[in-house]
Amino acid sequence: MKVAPEYAPYPQAQPPNYKRWLVNGAALLGLVFVGADLLESVKHGSSYWNILRLLLDVFTVWGVMIGVAVLWLLALLLRVLYYRFNWHIARYHTNAATRVQHTWWTHHRQKVGLIESVLLGAACSSPEHRQSLFSPEHQPPVPEATPEGPAIRLLQILGRDVAERERHLATLLALQWNEQRTEPDVVQPVCCYWQGSLDAWQAFVEQMRQCCPQIQLPEQPEPWQGMQSLDAIIDRLHGAPWDIRILCAGCHSSPPEAQSHMPAGEAAVLWWLGPRGRVRLSRGEWFAADAESLASVAERVSQQSELKSSAPVCVSFSQPDMPPLSVLDWNTRQHLQDANFGALQNLEAMIVQTLAAWYAEQHGVPCAWLANDPQHTLALGIVESDHADS
């Protein structure tokens, strides 16, 4: 979770009650006058009273009253100064807290542009399939029956070895990206992130070297850490020159498991990110069950995107180990992706963000997403189309 900073109000002093101070001051002067008058009226007395009368000869009654009045005014002045200093400190504290919160929300609402995206799965292997995935008439792929359990597989890839299938997935991902690329000029990525095995990355690099030798990819990419990596990318691209690019990609093939709540799946995904794009990915939020309610996290997601109501559409994977998602004011069942992609472990979040980006671009409305994350049990966010580029 990413909780906005909250500050308790600075304790404020009560303003001085001037009416009470005037009454008390007048009463004090009256007591001094009455006391002096009583002393003056004493006819007989001890030497003690003689000494007092002697002092009264030196310091007249009016002198004493003036001294008392000066002390009273000094006390009142100190009380007013205390109140004014306290008021200014409280105001400074409030303004400083507001600036910190504004800075936090400004940073939290920063986004990154998704310029190009590629998604390969049994239900989606080309850009032409984007529209059909959100159609009510869409039919999910039929899981393949294997001795180990059901699996949703790409028909283009043969064999059962998971590592080998992931290398083939990476090769197909490179081929599809080269076919889909829309930028006429070749721009070198300043950084590359990869979700998956190093062998699969090397297969991707080798195929890109053959398809587009102008793009130089590193032998060792940065590991994709989900929300943590997306935060770092947004920080790096915010305010960067328009031609700065970052590559994020990954592939995964899950081994079949008879006891799994959904079939084993496989998919490959790629993002070509820049400061601006046709859609914008947000930092998103993550859920910590022991610290905050899921409804509070969802509300902060809407605040992050400055939405007055929930996003009309949510792309998600089911979360059987999480609290009931019905507490969310999101339609998490309409575009559930379990039957389209199967179990994808740490690749889920990239898949649903890609699908949410497609929906936002096609329909021009914000689209929410919900999935697990490599670093957190549950992550969620909202993708928006960039109206400035449309």
Query: What CA dihedral angle connects 226, 230, 236 and 241, to 10 degrees?
Result: 130
Give the domain CATH number at 285.
3.40.47.10
Instruction: Report the C-alpha gap between 152 and 269 in whole angstroms.
Output: 16
Mean pLDDT score, 144-173: 91
Q: Which residues of 372-389 are buried (b: 16+ CB within 10 A; e: fewer)?
A: bbbebebbbbbbbbbeee
Does residue 188 sit within a domain?
A: yes
pLDDT confidence bin for 40, thresholds 50/70/90:
low
* The predicted structure's pLDDT at residue 58: 47
50 shares a domain with 39: yes
Q: How many domains does the chain have?
A: 2
Is 72 within the bounds of a domain?
yes
Residues 181 and 150 in one domain: yes
Give burial (CB, 10 Å; 0-12/13-18/19+) of 355: buried
For residue 43, is it within any domain? Answer: yes
What whole-number distance in Å separates Cα of residue 254 and Cα of residue 197?
12
Q: Same domain for 243 and 286?
A: yes
Residues 184 and 42 in one domain: no
**Is 277 a member of any domain?**
yes
* Residue 223 within any structural domain of the chain: yes
Is residue 25 in some structural domain? yes
Q: pTM score, two decimals?
A: 0.82
Average pLDDT over residues 94-115: 92
Domain identity same for 97 and 128 = no
The answer to whether 243 and 222 have CB atoms below 8 angstroms apart is no
Q: Are residues 91 and 24 in the same domain?
A: yes
Q: Is the pLDDT of residue 83 over 70?
A: yes
The per-residue pLDDT for range 305-315, each reduced to its tens digit, is 888 888 888 99
Same domain (yes/no): 82, 230 = no
Q: What is the pLDDT of residue 200?
A: 97
Q: What is the pLDDT of residues 165-183, one digit of tens each?
A: 999 999 999 999 999 887 7
In DSSP terms, 118 is beta-bridged to 270
- Residue 48 tokens read as 């003690």
Number of Cβ within a 10 Å radius of residue 365? 12
Boundary (domain end) residue, out of 107, 132, 166: 107
Look up residue 187 and give its two tokens: 């721009």
Query: Of 62, 84, 107, which closes a domain?
Result: 107
Residues of the domain holding 268 = 109-385
Question: Which of 107, 136, 158 delimits the end of a domain?
Answer: 107
pLDDT for the residue 382: 94
Mean per-residue pLDDT for 36-48? 53
Q: Are residues 201 and 300 in the same domain?
A: yes
Do 295 and 375 reside in the same domain of the chain? yes
DSSP secondary structure letter of residue 210: H
- The two tokens of residue 40 are 């003056």
| pLDDT (average), residues 338-360 | 93
Closest CA to 349 of 280, 267, 276: 267
Same domain, 150 and 274: yes
Looking at residues 16-20, what average pLDDT do you find?
81
User: Does the pLDDT value for residue 283 go beyond 60?
Assistant: yes
Q: Classify burial at 352, counting beta carbons within 10 Å of its beta carbon; exposed 0-12, middle 13-18, buried 19 or more.
A: buried
Q: Is 390 within the bounds of a domain?
A: no
Q: What is the pLDDT of residues 201-235, one digit of tens each?
A: 999 999 999 988 889 999 999 999 999 999 999 99
76 lies in the same domain as 116: no
Question: What mean pLDDT comes out for the span 185-189?
Answer: 85
How does pLDDT run across 252-282, given as a tens digit for each residue? 999 998 888 889 999 999 999 999 998 999 9
49 in a domain, yes or no? yes
What's the token pair of residue 35? 């006391």
Q: Do 191 and 319 fall into the same domain?
A: yes
What average pLDDT score do residues 116-125 get?
A: 91
